Amino acid sequence: MKILGITGSIGMGKSTACQLLRCLGVPVHDADATVHRLYQQGGAAVPLIAARFPEAVRNGQVDRVALGRMVFGNPAALRVLERIVHPLVQAEERAFLARHRRRRTPVVALDIPLLFESRGQRRCDAVAVVTAHALIQQQRVLARPGMTLDRLRQIRSKQMPDSEKRRRADYIVPSGLGRGVTIRALKRILADLNRPG
């Protein structure tokens, strides 16, 4: 089984590329979706976060906005949160990989927003970065509820620059040039990964 790491900065089209991979028959483990599940009522992260950030848990689930206010700009609090959440996400990822190894799935993808920053490329056979022009990125991000240019700048400052991600990646998946361009890039990657040897 080949493991393809998928990454990209905020607003680059990573989620769309992962949806297209699913349409092409590739199972995708989505780290962000896993966190969302862990934060919901009954999620494994809820009691652990409640113990450290009680004001962030309401009605039995994590209030992401409240939690974000507590950790954004507070490196010590962010490290505490990461020590809670990362092992849970990694456990789900390991279960996903084990399940697909048993099924002999030829290629799976790991959708990891901070793949290089977290050294996640070590777990992958290849890495694809989804990228778009900076103006397209800005337009997409500013269309999100509650997003401002200042907040986008803060997020960008915490992420590896897109140029560095592209330099480190095995594959580049263009976004913002039409779905057809993105699909063709993904199909080329899958053909490479499925090649014997």
Residues in the annotated binding site: 11-16
Angle of CA points 8, 11, 15, to nearest 5°:
65
- Scored b (16 or more CB within 10 A) or e, 119-144 reads ebbebbebbbbbbbeeebbbebbeee
Q: List CB contacts of 197: < 8 A, sequence separation 6 or more.
A: none
Tokens of 35: 């966190």
Cα→Cα distances 195→1, 61, 175, 190, 192, Å = 12, 45, 25, 8, 5
**Cβ neighbours, 10 Å, residue 34:** 21
Residues contributing to the annotated binding site for ATP: 11-16
> Which CB contacts under 8 angstroms, 24+ apart, belong to 65-74?
72/154, 73/154
Q: Give the whole-angstrom CA distance, residue 60 versus residue 39.
A: 9
